[in-house]
């Protein structure tokens, strides 16, 4: 049995890419996990995804070690016990006398289970194991959106994972206009203001923003940003989607970009990255995820607003939906692979939305009630 001790970052010398390893007690890679992570690398999964999967599988290995399970002989019942252990890290065979608060949310547990199920599906393809029946087949009907060639597939049978917790429905968190303005005004530098304004106006992912090159920004009346996937970013960032896309931005945002280049961008630095270190770190090197984390912590101290880059993306998409954009247009602007992702994430209504729609309905209604 391989003993998992830690997750370690590693830079590949041949391509300068970053990957992750799970090490055992002798600080050697846990080979079954390493094979799977190499498979994910070959599929060009992002370093962040591989890091998450490595961490999740390390956690699974800890569970196997604690209860002396062999990873080659894991059963569906063992995986069910793993879910219990993730909620309450104790012996799943012992029922506590008093209620114990769950350590992890349903969403977190589902993410961990996805990594474990993916690992075993990979081992099944290799012929290492016989397989664990973690799926059930069900009939799917009344799909709102159908694929272009859906008529070629007459079967409506789909596979769903048995080991998946029901997640409580929550509204996607967004920022209001006042919060956005406070965060932007709290920025000391034009670079940081431009970064926040870009996140808000474009809805881009932070990995896409940090990977931007000057050649991706097209002024001269076009006011476009071309989002492209690159695998050679030295700051380990990457666009999530394999497809490039064009995002239109305002003239005001393009002016802010010009001001940033004129007033702050280092003149003696030969870099094609848009967002670079200027006042800390290696001057001229591209900003990293950790630099963004530090920036948002500083902004939280100044404003008291707990914001993250992805909140700007949620806010942008929600505002587009509220303004009546077609969901397919929102999907294309955000770079979602499936329109269903856009629907599931952003077609939500708050109480304020419902109140406003009802107010507009009353204004349009031809029948006016008289209470007297």
Q: Give residue-wise pLDDT tens across range 136-168.
A: 555 555 555 554 444 545 555 556 666 788 888
pLDDT at 247 over 90: yes
Phi, psi at 6, each rounded to 5°: -155, 165
Residue 284, both tokens: 């001229």
pLDDT of residue 1: 54
Burial of 104 per CB tally in 10 Å (0-12, 13-18, 19+): middle
pLDDT at 100 over 60: no
More confidently predicted of 116 and 159: 116
Concerning whether 205 is annotated as a catalytic residue, the answer is yes
More confidently predicted of 178 and 267: 178
Mean residue pLDDT across the chain = 84
pLDDT of residue 150: 47
Across 258-280, average pLDDT: 93
Q: Exactly one of 240, 302, 308, 322 is catalytic; which is it? A: 240
Phi, psi at 103, each rounded to 5°: -80, -30
pLDDT of residue 340: 84
Instruction: Return the beta strands (E) in the chain as ranges.
Output: 4-11, 18-24, 135-139, 157-161, 217-218, 224-227, 245-248
pLDDT of residue 311: 94
In tens, the pLDDT along 163-192 reads 788 888 777 789 999 999 999 999 999 999
Q: Exactly one of 58, 229, 313, 314 is catalytic; which is it? A: 313
Across 262-276, average pLDDT: 92
Residue 368, both tokens: 């006016």
Q: Exactly one of 200, 257, 260, 346 is catalytic; which is it? A: 346
Q: Exactly one of 248, 297, 310, 329 is catalytic; which is it? A: 310
Cβ burial 306-344 (10 Å sphere, 16+ → b, else e) = ebebebbbbbbbbebbeeeeebeebbbbbbbeebeebbe
Across 201-217, average pLDDT: 95
Q: Exactly one of 58, 191, 193, 205 is catalytic; which is it? A: 205
Q: Are the CB atoms for 296 and 307 separated by under 8 Å?
A: yes
Concerning whether 87 is annotated as a catalytic residue, the answer is no
Concerning whether 2 is annotated as a catalytic residue, the answer is no
Q: Terminus-to-terminus CA distance in the chain, angstroms?
A: 82
Domains, the chain, ranges and CATH? 4-95+102-141+155-161 (1.10.150.130), 177-332 (1.10.443.10)
Half-sphere exposure of 184 (CA within 13 A, CB side): 19
pLDDT of residue 179: 96
User: Crossing angle of helices 31-42/106-126, nearest 10°?
Assistant: 90
């Amino acid at each position: 049995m391989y003993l998992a001790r830690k997750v370690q970052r590693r830079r590949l010398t041949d391509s300068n890419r970053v990957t992750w390893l799970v090490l055992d007690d002798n600080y050697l890679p846990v080979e079954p996990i390493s094979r799977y992570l190499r498979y994910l690398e070959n599929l060009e999964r992002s370093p962040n995804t591989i890091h998450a999967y490595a961490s999740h599988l390390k956690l699974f290995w800890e569970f196997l070690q604690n209860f002396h399970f062999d990873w080659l002989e894991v059963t569906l019942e063992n995986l069910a016990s793993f879910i219990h252990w993730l909620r309450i890290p104790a012996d799943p065979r012992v029922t506590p006398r008093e209620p114990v608060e769950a350590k992890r949310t349903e969403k977190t547990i589902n993410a961990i289970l996805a990594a474990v199920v993916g690992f075993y599906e990979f081992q099944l393809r290799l012929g290492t194991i016989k397989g664990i029946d973690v799926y059930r087949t069900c009939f799917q009907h009344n799909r709102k959106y159908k694929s272009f060639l859906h008529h070629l597939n007459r079967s409506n049978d789909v596979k769903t994972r048995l080991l998946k917790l029901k997640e409580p429905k929550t509204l996607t968190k967004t920022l209001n206009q006042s919060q956005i303005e406070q965060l932007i005004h709290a920025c000391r530098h034009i670079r940081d203001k431009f970064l926040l304004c870009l996140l808000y106006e474009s809805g881009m992912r932070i990995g896409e923003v940090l990977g931007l090159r000057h050649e991706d920004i097209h002024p001269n009346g076009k006011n476009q940003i071309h989002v492209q996937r690159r695998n050679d970013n030295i700051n380990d960032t990457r666009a999530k989607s394999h497809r490039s896309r064009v995002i239109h931005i305002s003239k005001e945002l393009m002016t802010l970009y010009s001001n940033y280049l004129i007033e702050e961008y280092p003149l003696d630095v030969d870099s094609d990255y848009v967002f670079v270190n200027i006042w800390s770190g290696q001057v001229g090197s591209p900003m990293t995820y950790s630099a963004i984390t530090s920036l948002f912590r500083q902004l939280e101290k100044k404003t008291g607003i707990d914001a993250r880059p992805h909140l700007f993306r949620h806010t942008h998409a929600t505002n587009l939906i509220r303004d009546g954009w077609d969901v397919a247009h929102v999907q294309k602007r955000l770079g979602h692979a499936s329109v269903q992702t856009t629907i599931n994430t952003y077609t939500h209504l708050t109480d304020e939305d419902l109140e406003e729609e009802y107010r507009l309905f009353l204004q349009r209604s031809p029948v006016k009630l008289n209470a007297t």
